[in-house]
Amino acid sequence: MDPQPWSNTAKGGKKIEKMTRQKLIKTKWYSKIGILPPFARQSVSLPKLKLLMSTLSEQELVRREKLKALRNLGIDPYPAALFPVNHTSQTAKANFEEGKHVIMAGRLMSRRIQGKASFAELQDSAGRIQVYFNRDELCLGEDKTLYNEVYKKLLDIGDIIGIEGSLFTTQVGEPTVMVKQLTVLNKTLRPLPLPKTDADGKIYDEFNDPELRYRQRYVDLIVNPKVKDTFIKRTKITNSIRDFFNQKGYLEVETPVLQPIAGGAAARPFVTHHNALNIPLYLRIANELYLKRLIVGGFDGVYEFSKDFRNEGMDRTHNPEFTVMELYVAYKDYFWMMETTEALLEKVAIEVTGKTTVRVGAHNIDFKAPYPRVPILEAIKTHTGIDVASMDENQLRAAAKKLDIDVDDTMGEGKLIDAIFGEKCEHHYIQPTFITDYPKSMSPLTKEHRSNPKLTERFELMVNGKELANAYSELNDPLDQRQRFEEQLKLSEKGDDEAMFIDQDFLRALEYGMPPTSGIGIGIDRLVMLMTNNSSIQEVLFFPQMKPEQKAIALSEDEKLVFDLLKNQNPVALNQLKDRTALSNKKWDKAIKGLTTKKQAQVTKDDNGLWVSIL
């Protein structure tokens, strides 16, 4: 007799040991959803399993039943063995030969079953190709289970399969694979959110909600092919930059991500703690000071694609984790760097898009050299009518306030000028433009201008109204650098949490001597946005930082009824709401208590009585 897991004894009265009974209970539940029992895999408690079952959709439950059916047929839905792919959809089409033998794998994305035959679409990393299943070609003997049961009934859209067959052309000229062998490679348990097209060509149910797309990028890549194109172009961009620098003999290097001092930029860092050393460490905000140390050490040119981190705001052009390419070359200045930057970006544009002109929103942006060069103080005067060249800190603050720019007492001269330019000038520079010759107070790591001691040899490259690159003739006077650091320390004492730290080891390196050097940092994420015509940085990052995901709160049917009524009228009198639900007193009390406990609704009292409202 089979033991009855829900009782303490088996049929016949023999007592079941506690552990055996628990194992039987779990096995019974797992068998319902078609996965291995916990003693064969990983133990899951019964309450968790019940919760899983209650939160699954009807389609998810059906897929689990199909999973079980595949296993009952002796088919492993998750095989470990290599599948010998020899063609992609792209290579099969590009090198098409009638009758050619091919082995391919991918997702089943659509199908049209017509009795003994079926056309379907297979999607792999290179695109889609039509495939043709014929029952008698797939199942040569009497047993037609592989077609009648496995393909027609147990496979779903999104499942990953392997096929072996031969190429042929349909009557309408479509390259197609005649499937001779079928292998299940992965039975998917969730349905894909595929768009639907009606008879008029209108598309419905597109997977285009930005938050869902960014959180579930893996789904986004499957159902929105253009997304993959963006990231393929991103790799082309970085490869093009590497090729440009490698041809010049510059060395790609790696520098620390965890740093004892957050240096090289004015930004708020992320702070962590090293337990073994018992010291605070910072995620790098820039790699500049380490790359300059390598120039001191004797390298003529070094560059790095670095992940930087800044504990600041998030918006359409800022992510707390971002990629910057920094380059430092000895015996060069910022004039040379402008020409190099022009040549680099022109090359990237041509190799990625096929031309120097790139469409960005409503603008055609041309990366062909040369680019205009505009001093920052001249730009401010042009766009505001105010000459800030000789103003001190108090005068700059007054000018900013006059221009309705939000400022505070912690901001020094540099930040005030930066705020004025950012608010009133930056957006005017759509075509690539070098904004040059920044005041010394804005540029603590930059060499003093050779013809004006109040300015520095620095430029920022503006494209489409945003900064794309920042470059200097690097400051290599150790005494001047120490004084600049000390001025930054004073700003920090005033409350500026983005002021630079004093890096004593970097100063020591400068005292050993750094040759005249020019350096640049290019924002890779923003460059990819430009080259792919994306207005949001989240579109060019595989996994952008997101707010914590809010878990859906499970509501009972009665709670859903009350909540849906509340959506139509909020707030509403308690008695009026109760009457509309037509629930019994007991069900009403349980439903309203559930909503308030789950913080979905609240009950308040005023002179007119009790009211229910959504929280």
Q: Tell me whether strands 101-114 and 160-169 are parallel, antiparallel or unpaired.
A: antiparallel
β-partners of residue 548 are: none
At 291 the pLDDT is 97
Cα–Cα distance, 294 to 301 (Å, whole number): 9
CA 496 to chain CA centroid, nearest Å: 31
* Whether the Cβ atoms of residue 44 and residue 53 lie closer than 8 Å to each other: no
SS (H, E, C) 129-157: EEEEEEHHHHCCCCCCHHHHHHHHHHCCC
Cα–Cα distance, 569 to 113 (Å, whole number): 47
β-partners of residue 107 are: 123, 160
H-helix or E-strand containing 178? strand 175-186
Please provide residue 7's backbone torsions phi and psi, each rounded to the nearest 5 degrees.
Answer: -115, 170
Q: Which of 427, 423, 378 is nearest to 401 (CA)?
A: 423
β-partners of residue 601 are: 614
Report DSSP state, residue 427: G
279 CB burial (10 A radius; 0-12, 13-18, 19+): exposed
Cα dihedral 296, 297, 300, 306 in deg (nearest 10): -90
Residue 147 φ/ψ region, left for φ over 0, alpha for ψ in the -120 to 50 degree band, beta for the rest: alpha
* Whether the Cβ atoms of residue 55 and residue 35 lie closer than 8 Å to each other: no
Cα–Cα distance, 166 to 178 (Å, whole number): 5
Q: Tell me whether strands 373-375 and 433-436 are parallel, antiparallel or unpaired.
A: parallel
* Whether the Cβ atoms of residue 468 and residue 344 lie closer than 8 Å to each other: no
Report DSSP state, residue 422: H
Q: Whose structure tokens read 């910022």?
A: 334
Contacts for 92 with CB less than 8 Å, ≥ 6 apart: 100, 102, 104, 129, 167, 175, 177
Cα–Cα distance, 515 to 295 (Å, whole number): 8
At 48 the pLDDT is 59
Cα–Cα distance, 411 to 408 (Å, whole number): 6
At 5 the pLDDT is 43
Tell me the CA distances in angstroms from 380 to 180, 414, 467, 505, one per residue in order: 71, 14, 16, 37
Q: What tokens appear for 335 in the block?
A: 């004039």
CATH number listed for the domain at residues 89-192: 2.40.50.140
Cα–Cα distance, 590 to 585 (Å, whole number): 9
At 488 the pLDDT is 81
Cα–Cα distance, 459 to 344 (Å, whole number): 16
Q: Which CATH class is domain 330-463+511-521?
A: alpha beta
DSSP string, 256-286: -SEESS--SSSSPPPEEEETTTTEEEEE-S-
pLDDT in tens, 323-337: 999 999 999 999 999
Contacts for 91 with CB less than 8 Å, ≥ 6 apart: 126
Q: Which CATH class is domain 557-614?
A: mainly alpha
Q: SS3 of 439, please?
A: strand
H-helix or E-strand containing 301? strand 301-309
Q: What tokens appear for 73 in the block?
A: 């047929």
Cα dihedral 99, 103, 109, 110 in deg (nearest 10): 30
SS (H, E, C) 348-369: HHHHHHCCCEEEECCEEEECCC
Q: What tokens appear for 498 in the block?
A: 């983005």
Residue ranges for the chain with pLDDT beneath 50: 1-12, 25-26, 28-43
Domain parsing of the chain, residue ranges: 18-55, 89-192, 257-295, 330-463+511-521, 557-614
Cα–Cα distance, 467 to 421 (Å, whole number): 11
Q: What tokens appear for 146 in the block?
A: 């592989």
At 3 the pLDDT is 42
Please provide residue 493's backbone torsions phi and psi, each rounded to the nearest 5 degrees.
Answer: -70, -25
Cα dihedral across residues 163, 164, 170, 174: positive or negative: positive
Cα–Cα distance, 612 to 374 (Å, whole number): 62
Q: Tell me whether strands 203-204 and 196-197 are parallel, antiparallel or unpaired.
A: antiparallel
Q: Which of 158, 97, 102 is nearest to 132 (CA)?
A: 102
Helices 504-511 and 288-296 cross at an angle (nearest 10°) of 30
Q: Tell me whether strands 101-114 and 117-124 are parallel, antiparallel or unpaired.
A: antiparallel
Report DSSP state, residue 99: T
Cα–Cα distance, 106 to 124 (Å, whole number): 5
pTM given for the model: 0.79
